[in-house]
Amino acid sequence: MVNLDIFVVLYKRQIEASETLVSLRRLDFVTLDFDVEVHIWDNSPTPLWPEQGTLPANWRYISSPSNEALSKAYNTLTRGTSRSYVMILDQDSYVTETLFLRLRSGIEQVNADVFVPMIKHDGRVISPGRLRWIKGAPLRTIHPGALLPRNFTAMMSGLCMSRSALLRNGAHPFDERLRFYGIDTRFCRDLSQHGGAAYLYDAVLEHDSALRSTVDRDAALERQIWLWKSWLQVFDRNLAESIAIRFYVLWKVLQASCRPGSQRKFGELISKVLR
């Protein structure tokens, strides 16, 4: 039996309205040969406490109205749990028996530290990918049932990590300088630096991507600013990397400020990135 802690962070979403939690609740984990505890971290400014007795016995609820950074939430939950494996899911992932059966098969058959699903958005694979120094790129080929290259990167949702891999990443396996974006990329880089192995298990999660689907131009630009800010912490392993990522961010900000119809000047954008 696989011992698994599942972390789900909510934001302004009722438990019964979270596709992740609704789909998790339908699963019979004992039949799937999992010993699971579900940990709900609610970042909503107004706590949405579940009514007493409405959660399954192996579910835990924590309210954090201060809207903690996801990295801090993950680290706190990691310290407060002890099962052999940890899976992180966002609030809108539809999970199935197949995903957990394939995950269990991977854990039982492969000596790896992290188990990665394929994530698609509008039918297109958006995770896993790879890093070419400071720039992300698609994998040349994707073969479920194989180990990923050392320079892999993956989105956090659906990622299953061994407890030993988390401990090797130190007291704070998730970089707390990062609030929302970049946590997954930094974790993958740190895992590789410590010699960890990642395995692509044969399961697919359909996933929304705010960076790709937000149609409001101002909202999309704000998300881009958050992403650019995160790169400064994700790529700071040495001086050359730190200098290179700053030039790359400057170039991305310049492009954004020069787009037709842009109402944000370069100086305004770069000050927000560096703030």
φ, ψ of residue 119 in degrees (nearest 5): -120, 130
CA 15/CA 49 separation, integer angstroms: 9
pLDDT at 217: 80
Predicted confidence band of residue 210 (pLDDT cuts 50, 70, 90): low
Check whether residue 67 and residue 173 sit in a common domain. Answer: yes
pLDDT at 102: 97
Closest CA to 162 of 86, 109, 80: 86
Check whether residue 245 and residue 188 sit in a common domain. Answer: no
230-271 tens-digit pLDDT: 999 999 999 999 999 999 999 999 988 888 877 788 888 888
pLDDT at 121: 87
Higher confidence at residue 48 or residue 35? 35
Predicted confidence band of residue 10 (pLDDT cuts 50, 70, 90): very high
pLDDT at 128: 96
227-239 tens-digit pLDDT: 999 999 999 999 9
pLDDT at 169: 87
pLDDT at 209: 62
Residue 214 pLDDT exceeds 80 = no
Q: What is the CATH number of the domain that holds 148?
A: 3.90.550.10
pLDDT at 213: 58
Closest CA to 166 of 273, 79, 50: 79
Check whether residue 106 and residue 219 sit in a common domain. Answer: no
Check whether residue 204 and residue 243 sit in a common domain. Answer: no
Check whether residue 47 and residue 89 sit in a common domain. Answer: yes
pLDDT at 48: 74
- Domain holding 48, by residue range, is 2-209
Check whether residue 153 and residue 204 sit in a common domain. Answer: yes
What average pLDDT does the structure give for the chain? Answer: 91
Q: Of 175, 209, 243, which residue constitutes the final position of a domain?
A: 209
Check whether residue 129 and residue 33 sit in a common domain. Answer: yes
pLDDT at 183: 97
Check whether residue 92 and residue 155 sit in a common domain. Answer: yes
Q: Of 158, 184, 209, which residue constitutes the final position of a domain?
A: 209
Task: List Cβ neighbours of 125 (8 Å cut-off, separation of 6 or more).
Answer: 118, 119, 138, 142
Check whether residue 241 and residue 115 sit in a common domain. Answer: no
Give the CA-trace dihedral at 234, 176, 61, 115, to 10 degrees.
Answer: 40
pLDDT at 151: 94
Is the backbone peptide bond immediately before 149 cis, with ω within 30 degrees of 0?
Answer: no
Handedness of CA 113, 192, 169, 73 (dihedral sign): negative
DSSP 51-116: PTT-S-TTEEEEE-TT---HHHHHHHHHHT---SEEEEE-TT----HHHHHHHHHHHHH---SEEE
Q: What is the pTM of this model?
A: 0.92
Give Cα 48 distance to the centre of its chain: 23
Residue 215 pLDDT exceeds 80 = no
Residue 199 pLDDT exceeds 90 = yes
Name the 3-class secondary structure at 236.
coil
CA 109/CA 92 separation, integer angstroms: 29
pLDDT at 247: 95
Q: Of 171, 193, 209, which residue constitutes the final position of a domain?
A: 209
88-139 tens-digit pLDDT: 999 999 999 999 999 999 999 999 999 999 999 888 889 999 999 898 898 9
Check whether residue 124 and residue 38 sit in a common domain. Answer: yes
Check whether residue 191 and residue 107 sit in a common domain. Answer: yes
pLDDT at 68: 95
% pLDDT > 70, the chain: 96
Check whether residue 19 and residue 144 sit in a common domain. Answer: yes
Burial class (CB in 10 A: 0-12, 13-18, 19+), 248: middle
Q: How many domains does the chain have?
A: 2
